[in-house]
Structure 1
Amino acid sequence: MPSKSSARLAALTVAAVCSAASTVVLTSPAHADSVRIHDIQGTTRTSPYAGKQVTDVAGIVTGIRTYGSSKGFWIQDTAPDDDPATSEGVFVFTSSTPKGVAVGDAVTVSGTVSEYVPGGTSSGNQSITEITKPVVTVVSSGNAVPAPVVLDARSVPDEYTPAGDSAAGGSVGGLTLRPSKYALDRYESLEGMNVQVADVRVVGATDPYTELWVTVKPDQNRSRRGATVYGSYDSQNSGRLQIQSLGSTADFPVANVGDRLTGTTTGPLDYNQYGGYTLVAETIGTLRSGGVQRETTEKQKNGELAIATYNVENLDPSDDTFAAHASAIVNNLRSPDIVSLEEIQDNNGATDDGTTAADVTVNKLIDAIVAAGGPRYDWRAVDPQDKTDGGEPGGNIRQVFLFNPERVSFTDRPGGDATTAVGVTKSRGKAHLTVSPGRIDPTDEAWASSRKPLVGEFVFRGRTVFVIANHFNSKGGDQGLAGQYQPPVRSSEVQRHRQATLVNAFVKDILALDKNADVVALGDINDFEFSGTARILEKDGALWSAIKSLPKNERYTYVYQGNAQVLDQILVSPAIRRGCDLEYDSVHLNAEFHDQISDHDPQVLRFHP
């Protein structure tokens, strides 16, 4: 051992006594015929040594994780093989805070090779190859860390992933890696290794868990504001990469979409259950603002009707966001005539005591809007039955109509409640609702543990406008884009398809009685404008998603794992689409920002009924 290590020997002896999970001992260096890291990693996502004991695996410590449930350190071999499919890095899981090792230590590790699946095997996530129950030997200290592998537009393939093996249920776990062809294979071939990105654009704002997303492909489906737009199931935006930090959370950059991390960000490449491949940074670049500002839409003209949808994210009276939401509605949305609100909780929020009324929540928001200089909106809603509409337990979320009575009137028709289905009838040649407000087929199984559509009949300048406020089943339970099953199964869309079928049929009921009726179906559809859900809503031309009037690189309302995507939509009937004066605006004031008051951007439609 070099003499510079002698001062560490006593400390290591003490560490061996203090750490039961990671035993540090001092023995001779690894034998020449020891298994190496690239042998353990192999050419697929699962190790050929999984479940087996390995001895004296050599490497340099490149990073140490002292937080979370996956404590340990990464080591990397300084004598790589010539196979680009085999990683030279591996994570050593110690379970408790690693002691007796430091970055730059040359070590040998003996232990059991394990394939750990973040989130559990039922999550569908890929596994991480680890050495567990380690016995660690420090051979020397102060060594240079292996030079990082550069991830950039050239080194990461455009194609995202291979299709899974049908004989293995669609899993890619056993497929031989092709890192020059697929981005996920490229990342997997570097699992546990020291990697680097340089001068990258932020495509997912810093979140409360101290992580953000960047892209190493600056031209890949870029929006004019710097987001990376998710435009089809075949376009997974392969340049996206999550960034975390091994340092203090206080030093982590607080970034918005469109900002840049200048210089270099370097550290081990990990995989986690909240997005897949993640650069866990030892050093992180300098944040430079992209200057992106919150948007403001145009004010509707006298003859224009402005209708908005806005998911206010589990709003209840205890929240401190009422003034901010009010300012957004008044100043950024310019006080639309009708606002469909999603995720309005009952009067005591998540307290589960049978309360279902939301008048306190709604009136607090209306008062805040007035205080912000907006109109005193009136409102309509139907209280759900307790614990039947999903969302946060006890919260009883629902959709609510706000409307400006100085510009729009609401046609009240009694009888609407949580379980009564709204229908359509004809009077004097025009379609009318049987109850208003009402709910579409609320007892149908399509709405089990999900929000029922709220329907209202409005009048603007003598013209009847039917508005359907929706909040479809969430994407919870779908397999991840970076998961082991490719293509991922979108199990949640089965229920959304049934919901879309009912809404489409209801719109057709209106149009059957009045083909020129103005119908607007809007809300948090929880699905993309190119999805099967959208196609069902649009079936037979009953509706058309107006966000498709925007250029493709401006179609997004939500940012998830660095993908700017559409979840919120406003769909219109043929009469509105034929009007040729339709204006649509996705008002970006939340999803791109670290200090968002909701994770959704509101949408505004302006037209002449």
Structure 2
Amino acid sequence: MPHIPRSAAVGAVVATALAAGLLAATAGASTASPASPGAAEQVRVHDIQGGTRVSPLAGQQVEGVPGIVTGVRGYGSKGFWIQDVRGDGDRATSEAVFVYTATTPTVRTGDAVRVSGTVTEYVPGGVSSGNQSLTQITKPAVTVESSGNALPAPVTISAKNVPGAYAPKGDPAADNSVNALPLKPRAYALDLYESLEGMNVRVGSSRVVGATDPHAELWVTVKPHERPTRRGGALYGSYAAQNTGRLQVQQLAPLSERPFPKADVGDVLTGGAEGPLDFNQYGGYTLAARELGEVRSGGLERERTRPQRKDELAVATYNVENLDPGDPQAKFDALASAVVTNLAAPDIVALEEIQDDNGPKNDGTVTAGQTLKKFTDAIVAAGGPRYSWRSIDPENNKDGGEPGGNIRQVFLFNPERVSFTDRGAGDATTATGVVRTGKRAALTHSPGRIAPADAAWTNSRKPLAGEFGFRGRTVFVVANHFASKGGDEALTSHHQPPTRSSEIQRVRQAEAVNSFVREIRGAQKDADVLVVGDINDFEFSATTKALEAGGALRAGVKSLPRSERYSYVFQGNSQVLDQILVSPGVGRYHYDSVHLNAEFAEQNSDHDPQVVRFRP
């Protein structure tokens, strides 16, 4: 059975519903038709595509639309692309369209065909996703007129023709949608890609900026000088730095016929790729490669941070991606080796996504002792210290994440270097507080949770606070895993700018953590406080600003050169999600984002760990 990429497998039901007129083409878009081109047989592909994102013929029947088959997809969302060899000379109108067959197509690449059917707008992910739509012909009747025809010459997508601006601002009168705006392919990258929707395109040899993923997809950039990271990626450094040269690449051939190349960031797809330009849920504009080059390695290596000195405290954060006892021992060993070798065995490690003792089995289990014993044993086997741990079991299925998994934050600490102050250990629903003892701040519960009843933490992980001792100095660490970005619209959304609905909860979470840090500093102004974890947001985001508010904290990642500020790679954008923020009492520190996962096809987690070293 062929591999089915996520993007190809999504939503025949949605497509069918659209074809039946049960769903609107897309929010705020009109499906009204302008004057028809005349007799039905005169309709050509560019008439169907029109000069905006939504077809002027959506919902209408078309007859005998001519074209050459440029690609056939016999798995997932089954169908084929046709391209008209007689264009209209308008840069804004695509000369190609996808024909959705629902069953394995019988046509072949190079066939000259005429297609009759219904013009629809299919929204990958559904209308509520905010995604742009894909114009297609559904319920087709296909006549093959000849075979073995030469394909239309591909349009080369390159640094020369992709604009520097990403997208126009949406129409405020249409909920910031760009659907009805005339396409300007010379002005905006998204408009260029939309004007080429379905057409035979090619990219030349291109640098890989998003490693091959488990769904047989990778990302390249056609702009080698567009915000490069030090290690070959494309940096996402602001909401206006979308990196217009990024393009996802898949292949049309099933994996059973040809394995998809395995590539890391910084590698080069030599020979590039050629095929129809698709649009899907998980990457937006995607080159469905009929022809695919080879990968030349860039020799990227996994980073190692330096060991802490005797008088330095090293604190790390690491999202270990739903670790549970049912995972292969190889995953435990690889993660353990990373802690020992790549992170140089930090004194304190805050872990995110530690699952309960039976992983995703949803039976009410919330303890994670087996998970942690297996992990700490693996660290010892890798030559590391015998870490102790502290955590608080969550309420069953109250903290989000995989149902039944009950992910939580955990403190690992090396008792040979660091002590943990156990004080009135809290539970899942009891909040820790701050008191002043002599001249120092102290927690009422250590470990303890910060304001677990606050609505900010609904269906999300509650922060874990702990009090540590190092060389006679108290250090407070708050381990976090903020609400995910699930539900946010993609950069390719028809709303411009895209809606970031999940940010509202993260900002509230950041405000709660900031308030707690202020309490500590109110009791002891020079207290050493570290807020660490998977913040799920960028260093320039409103979330980070809320954490830093009032000078309570500083985002450590901002101390790095811009080309090194990332911990995650999403759709070819190297970006910050994992952070360590420090209070003013910390003073001088050394920060390191240790790149050992996010840029590689072979991953043990999709996050890069962060480390900070300082002298308390």
Answer yes or no: same fold by TM over 0.5: yes
- Once residues 403 and 126 of structure 1 are traced to their aligned partners in structure 2, the CA distance between those partners, rounded to angstroms, is 47
**SS of the residue aligned with 1:495?**
helix
Aligned counterparts of 1:388 and 1:263: Cα–Cα separation in 2:
50
Helix, strand or coil at the partner of 1:256: coil
Which residue type is aligned with residue 439 of structure 1? Answer: R
Partner in structure 2 of residue 412 of structure 1: 422
Determine which of 443, 450, 470 is the counterpart of 1:440: 450
- CA distance in 2 between counterparts of 1:124 and 1:96 reads 27
Counterpart check, 1:89 vs 2:96: yes
Note the C-alpha offset of 1:513: 1.1
The answer on whether the counterparts of 2:40 and 2:63 sit within 8 Å (CA) in structure 1 is no
The whole-number CA distance in structure 2 between the counterparts of 1:381 and 1:415 is: 9
**Alignment partner of 2:371: what SS?**
helix
Shift of 1:483: 1.3
Which ranges in structure 2 are unaligned for 5 or more consecutive residues? 1-38
2:181 aligned with 1:175:
yes
Task: Give the drift of 1:264.
Answer: 3.0
Distance (whole Å) between structure 2 residues aligned to residue 248 and residue 152 of structure 1: 27
Q: Does 1:585 align with 2:595?
A: no
Deviation of the 1:170 alpha carbon: 1.3
Deviation at 1:224, TM superposition (A): 1.1
In 2, the alpha carbon distance for the partners of 1:33 and 1:521 equals 66
Match of 1:264 in 2: 272
Structure 2 Cα separation of the partners of residues 32 and 517 of structure 1: 77
Q: Which amino acid in structure 2 is aligned with residue 220 of structure 1? A: E
- Given that residues 132 and 494 in structure 2 are in contact (C-alpha distance below 8 angstroms), is that contact kept between their aligned partners in structure 1? yes
Deviations 1:481-517 (A, max 9, x none): 1111110110001110110001000000010111100
Once the two structures are superposed, the pairs formed by residues 69-218 of structure 1 within 5 Å of their partners are 70-99=77-106, 101-218=107-224
Which residue in the other structure is 1:35 paired with?
43
Q: Secondary structure at the match of 1:138?
A: strand
State which of 401, 415, 438 in structure 2 corresponds to 1:391: 401
- Partner residue in 2 for 1:284: 292
Deviation at 1:32, TM superposition (A): 10
Q: Does the C-alpha gap of structure 1 residues 33 and 358 become closer, same or farther in structure 2, counting only changes over 3 Å?
A: closer
For 1:387 and 1:65, locate their aligned partners in 2 and report how far apart those are by CA, in whole Å. 40
- Matched residues in 2 for 1:195 and 1:232: separation? 29
Distance (whole Å) between structure 1 residues aligned to residue 504 and residue 108 of structure 2: 50
TM-score (norm 1): 0.93
* Matched ranges for 1:420-439 at <5 A: 420-439=430-449
- Structure 1 gaps, min length 5: 1-30
Aligned to 1:572: 582
Q: Confirm or deny: 8 A CA contact 2:450 2:462 kept in the other structure.
A: yes
**Residue aligned with 1:57, SS:** strand
1:252 Cα deviation from its structure 2 partner: 1.1
1:251 aligns with 2:254: no
The size of the alignment, in residue pairs, is: 575
1:238 and 2:244 correspond = yes
How far did 1:33 drift? 5.7
Instruction: After TM superposition, list the pairs within 5 Å mapping 1:300-311 onto structure 2.
Output: 300-311=308-319
Distance in 2, matches of 1:415 and 1:178, equals: 61
Mapped to 1, the partners of 2:240 and 2:498 lie a distance apart of: 12
- Residue pairs, 1:255-404, within 5 angstroms: 255-320=263-328, 321-404=331-414
The 3-state SS of whatever aligns with 1:479 is: coil
Deviation at 1:286, TM superposition (A): 1.2
SS of the residue aligned with 1:284?
A: strand
The CA RMSD measured in Å over matched residues stands at 1.1
Contact 2:41-2:64 at 8 Å conserved across structures: no
Q: Partners in 2 of 1:141 and 1:416 — Cα distance? A: 73
Residues 325, 374 of structure 2: 8 Å contact kept: yes
Alignment of 1:30-69 (within 5 A): 34-68=42-76
1:202-238 superposed Cα distances (whole Å, 9 cap, x missing partner): 1111111111111111111101110101000011111
Percent identity between the aligned chains?
Answer: 66
**SS of corresponding position for 1:251:** coil
The one-letter code of the counterpart of 1:164 is G
Per-residue Cα deviation, 1:105-163 (whole angstroms, up to 9, x for no partner): 11111111111111111111111111111111111111110000000111111110011
Deviations along 1:341-362, whole A, 9 cap, x unmatched? 0000010111111111111101
Distance in 2 between residues matched to 1:122 and 1:236, nearest whole Å: 22
Corresponding position: 1:553 with 2:553: no
Larger Rg: 1
- Counterpart Cα distance in 2 of 1:529 and 1:303: 29
Whole-angstrom CA distance in 1 between matches of 2:425 and 2:265: 47
Is this contact kept in 1: 2:350–2:412, CA < 8 A? Answer: yes
AA at the equivalent of 2:137:
I
Q: Which amino acid aligns with 1:500?
A: A
Tell me the CA shift for residue 275 of structure 1: 1.3
Asked if 1 retains the 8 angstrom alpha-carbon contact of 2:348 and 2:413, the reply is yes
Report the equivalent of 2:20: none
Give 3-state SS (helix, strand or coil) of 2:223's partner. coil
> How far, CA to CA, are the matches of 2:195 and 2:479 in structure 1?
46
TM-score, structure 2 length as denominator?
A: 0.92
- SS class of match (1:537): helix
Partner residue of 2:613?
606
- Equivalent position of 1:17 in the other structure: none
